A and B are shown apart, each in its own frame.
Chain A
Amino acid sequence: MFSFQQANKSIELIDTFLNSIDEGALIFKEGVKNYLFGNRESFVDNLKTLSALETEADITRRKIENILYTQSLMPQLRGDIMRLLEVLDNIIDMAKKSLFQFDVEVPHIPAELNQDLVKLTEVSAAAIDSVIPAARDYFRNPEKVKEKIHRVYLYEKEADKLADAIKRKVFQEMTNLKLSEKFHLRYFTLHIENLSDAAQEAADMLSIMAIKRTI
């Protein structure tokens, strides 16, 4: 009970976990760009890295869970913390699945959509990038969480707008595409957009958790 060893270990693990999610968002962004611009080899590399990161994040999350429960650390907060880590883990899971779908389904993306999709990916990744510092602050400085998460909401709204614009363009302006191709494009837009929604879910949780922790 009086040993800080386990506490320090779990702090380290939480930091590693958050790093994995952060890196995951970067890799996802690179992966989509590489796919759009036809760099197949780099894309496959990104996919492999993201897959490894996702597995690592899963393992780390289980380790944290194990320590928090076996050492009965933070009995009041650990439920919330574990749920937060699950929601964050879900983001990297979604990113990996999305990239895998690119690999398996090889969607045909018209060149004129490339810029729009790159922008959407960047905004979605930015939402994830912004939720990580907020999560870090929850652990050390809960009063700062609120300042950080408003960015997540902003990026999420932007991502929604961009995704809408892309879908509109695909269905209303690109008459040369087959309906099946339009559907395919819609799904891939949705996959990227969903990442920002997942980041928003984490932000929502963080704002409530921060209030609970504010003394």
Chain B
Amino acid sequence: MLFLIFLSSGLFLGWSLGSNDAANIFGTAVGSRMVSFKRAAWIASIFVVIGAVFQGRGATETLSNLGSVDALAGAFTVALCAAITVFIMTRSGLPVSTSQAVVGAIVGWSAFTGNQTDYVVLTKIVTTWITGPVLGMIFAALLFLLLRRILRRMQIHVIKLDSIIRIGLITAGAFGAYSLGANNIANVMGVFVASAPNIELNFGLFVLDGVQILFLIGGIAISVGIFTYSHKVMQTVGRGILALTPEAALVVVLTQALVLFLFSSASFSSFLIWLGLPPLPLVPVSSTQVVVGAVLGIGLVKGVNEIKGKTLGGIAVGWIATPLVAGIFTYLGLFFVQNVFGLVVTAKTIAGQMEEVPTEPMASGIYNINLIMPGLLILAFMIIILLVFLFFRQQKLRLKTENELLVHQNEFFNSQKALNELEINAIQMENTMLSNKLELKRQELNTLLMNISEQRAFLENITNQISELIGSQDIKMRDARLKELSVLLKQKMSFSKEIEEFYGQIEQVHKDFQIKLSVRFPDLTENEKRLATLLRLNFSSKEIATFLNISPKSVEIARYRLRKKLELKAGENLTQFLINL
């Protein structure tokens, strides 16, 4: 339990490494939205853990050689101070390297405890701070030239290229994550190696020893960092320093993966020795600095510098400031831990040491825990959970689709309903119009009927009077009565009532015309307006004469007067003028 509490500072360091360095691997891909963050986080986490557990030992040994932090409290302080340094430097916007912080912290520990710092190892490590970025630069330039040549030769369509690069970014990202785990786990867990528990976990396919378990825990801390905090960093990095074309981004990620891999692969070192070349030291290098080197390399090939002087200056400051700050912090931290809490920070005997903190029980034997059955059980359990999850997701999707279908149907019904209502309204309007028309016709019929009966009564009256006159002998009286009858008939012939009705109807139908006429020619008399209306209906003078019960000559005169009032010129047609009005 105590071990876990002391380990917490290492886990904190792992967390900050995950949140910062994962951005170098998937920053461009996520920042440019080519790969979703979730997918990137999963791939990075899995491969970081694999790299850490299976290839983390090489770089860790070098770090242990620098200064073997042999007490748990010392390791705790070293990791904590390194983590705090990383945290503060990141906050102040400097590109920080966890490796430099850890190295600085270890040197600080050595200085405090009086342990001898191995200067050969220190030189080796410091050299890699320069060789790392330089190697990155060379690799990136070469890879970039190669990629450019291939792309120019193959002439791949930009859309297809996009898909290929996406796959490339994910693959290189996975490789990068593996290398990051292998190389940088030393930073996170290196100082705790001396206090690793003596346990072996047997998973059937592979066996994890104490150090590897430590690395597994560190790897998980890095993963947590990736999941919880790296999204924001990826967005910043993807749009800042790594705002490159996808092709260049692929080269950068691949370069970083390669360099980190080379600095952590023991087999590559032995291969170099076999070739008679000096081996690369297995040292944790800063992924950020390799990336900067790679971007510089690409810039050299393209003939443009994509890294600003300010960035380079920041890196230079980081190179010096990070180890220095970490060293000073550690020195102060150890002083505090030793003198305030009275904890042992080194196995070496120091004067004034107060209390011995028990490190893990260093038993002679190694506890071998068989995890084959539990592993299988966990696997089976996970498969069941996955199946249940898939089943429920399927159900949810089905329900969602059904719901969407229903919503669509509902919308369809609603629009149909609205359409039906419109149709009903139209039919109702038509019905109203028809019933109005019917009413009008009925009235017309009534009028006609009344007219007929009136005419009949009038004619009967005339017939009776004529019958009376036929028998009469008094010629004088007969003449007078006949005259009366003639006047009566003439009066009737003027059809004044019918003509009034006719005009009434015409005025109703040509209301617009009447209004226009009155507005434009306010001087027109009622009779002239009637004449104009009849002319507009294209009646001849003769017909108009009959309607108006005047002679055709009078119609001609009226027409002439109307022309004058309408101010028509000699050539203009009166009827056409009235129609066009």
Interface residues of A (CB under 8 A from B): 1-2, 4, 7-8, 10-11, 14, 72-77, 81, 138-141, 143, 212-213, 215
Q: Is the CB of A215 within 8 A of B151?
A: yes
Evaluate whether A74 and B158 lie within 8 angstroms (CB atoms) in the complex, with A213-B245, A215-B245, A215-B247 already known.
Answer: yes
Residues of B within 8 A of A7 (CB): 157, 159-160, 162-163
B491 within 8 A of A: no
B155 within 8 A of A: yes
A139 CA / B152 CA spacing, docked (Å)? 12
Chain A proximity of B163: nearest CB distance (Å):
5
Chain A proximity of B189: nearest CB distance (Å):
34
Evaluate whether A10 and B33 lie within 8 angstroms (CB atoms) in the complex, with A2-B167, A213-B245, A215-B248 already known.
Answer: no
Chain B proximity of A20: nearest CB distance (Å):
18
Chain B proximity of A18: nearest CB distance (Å):
12
Residues of A within 8 A of B152 (CB): 141, 143
A141 CA / B153 CA spacing, docked (Å)? 9
Chain B proximity of A136: nearest CB distance (Å):
10
Evaluate whether A77 and B33 lie within 8 angstroms (CB atoms) in the complex, with A2-B167, A143-B152, A215-B247 already known.
Answer: no
Residues of B within 8 A of A138 (CB): 158
Q: Is the CB of B32 within 8 A of A73?
A: no
B148 within 8 A of A: yes
B156 within 8 A of A: yes
Q: Which residue of A lies closest to B163 (CB)?
A: A7
Q: Is the CB of A74 within 8 A of B157?
A: no
Residues of B within 8 A of A8 (CB): 160
B246 within 8 A of A: yes
Q: Is the CB of A4 within 8 A of B160?
A: yes
B517 within 8 A of A: no
User: Which 7 A-B residue pairs are closest in the complex by CB-CB distance?
Assistant: A75-B33, A74-B162, A140-B155, A215-B247, A7-B163, A7-B159, A139-B158
B559 within 8 A of A: no
Which B158-182 residues have C-beta < 8 A from chain A?
Answer: 158-160, 162-163, 166-167
Residues of A within 8 A of B162 (CB): 7, 73-74, 77
B122 within 8 A of A: no
Evaluate whether A140 and B248 lie within 8 angstroms (CB atoms) in the complex, with A73-B163, A75-B34, A215-B148 already known.
Answer: no
Residues of B within 8 A of A81 (CB): 158
Most chain A beta carbons < 10 A, residue from B32, B148, B163, B246: B163
Evaluate whether A77 and B158 lie within 8 angstroms (CB atoms) in the complex, with A2-B167, A72-B33, A215-B248 already known.
Answer: yes
Q: Is the CB of B159 within 8 A of A140?
A: no
Chain B proximity of A133: nearest CB distance (Å):
14
Q: Is the CB of B245 within 8 A of A11?
A: no
Number of residues on chain B facing chain A (CB within 8 A): 24
Q: Tally the A-B contacts, defined by beta carbons under 8 Å.
A: 55
Q: Which residue of B lies closest to A209 (CB)?
A: B158
Most chain B beta carbons < 10 A, residue from A8, A76, A215: A215
Most chain B beta carbons < 10 A, residue from A1, A8, A10, A212: A1
Q: Is the CB of A10 within 8 A of B167?
A: no
Residues of A within 8 A of B158 (CB): 74, 77, 81, 138-140, 213
Residues of B within 8 A of A1 (CB): 39, 166
Residues of B within 8 A of A213 (CB): 158, 245
Residues of B within 8 A of A14 (CB): 159
Chain B proximity of A215: nearest CB distance (Å):
5
Q: Which residue of A lies closest to B251 (CB)?
A: A215
Could you name 12 residue pairs across A and B whose Cβ atoms are closer than 8 Å? Answer: A11-B157, A11-B160, A73-B159, A74-B162, A138-B158, A139-B157, A140-B155, A140-B157, A141-B152, A213-B245, A215-B245, A215-B248
Which B122-149 residues have C-beta < 8 A from chain A?
Answer: 144, 147-148
Residues of A within 8 A of B163 (CB): 2, 4, 7, 73
Most chain A beta carbons < 10 A, residue from B39, B144, B147, B159: B159
A196 CA / B304 CA spacing, docked (Å)? 35
Residues of A within 8 A of B160 (CB): 4, 7-8, 11
Which B90-144 residues have C-beta < 8 A from chain A?
Answer: 144
Chain B proximity of A212: nearest CB distance (Å):
8
Chain B proximity of A3: nearest CB distance (Å):
8
Q: Which residue of B lies closest to A75 (CB)?
A: B33
A140 CA / B151 CA spacing, docked (Å)? 9
A14 CA / B245 CA spacing, docked (Å)? 22
Q: Which residue of B lies closest to A144 (CB)?
A: B155
Residues of A within 8 A of B39 (CB): 1
Q: Which residue of A lies closest to B34 (CB)?
A: A75
Residue of B34, B144, B156 near A140 (CB, 8 A) is: B156
Residue of A11, A75, A143 near B159 (CB, 8 A) is: A11
A65 CA / B102 CA spacing, docked (Å)? 50
A157 CA / B166 CA spacing, docked (Å)? 42
Residue of A75, A140, A141, A143 near B32 (CB, 8 A) is: A75
A81 CA / B245 CA spacing, docked (Å)? 15
A215 CA / B148 CA spacing, docked (Å)? 7
A109 CA / B144 CA spacing, docked (Å)? 60
Chain A proximity of B296: nearest CB distance (Å):
16
Q: Which residue of A lies closest to B162 (CB)?
A: A74
Chain A proximity of B433: nearest CB distance (Å):
38
Residues of A within 8 A of B32 (CB): 75-76
